[in-house]
Amino acid sequence: MNVLASITFTILCISGPAEGVTVFNSQGQQIWHISIPERWTANVAFGGKHRNKLFITAAEAVYVLEMK
């Protein structure tokens, strides 16, 4: 029998043509906007040894933010 792990998300990060990434909490309220000096952002992903780095791909570069 296959068992799938359940993952609970407490935030949602949305990227796009809004010059950055908008972050929402689990109630759907905007809690943060990460400004990126580019025309658009494409993807976001958590990474690093402790999953405490947020990687943001944009039009000209990849940005890495250290999370608390």
pTM, 2 dp: 0.72
**Among 48, 50, 23, which Cα is nearest to 34's?**
23
The domain limits of the chain are: 11-66
Task: Provide the pLDDT for residue 10.
Answer: 66
Task: Provide the pLDDT for residue 9.
Answer: 53
Residue spans of the chain under pLDDT 50: 1-7
With left for phi above 0 and alpha for psi between -120 and 50, is residue 7 left, alpha or beta?
beta
CA torsion 62-65-51-59 (nearest 10°) is: -20
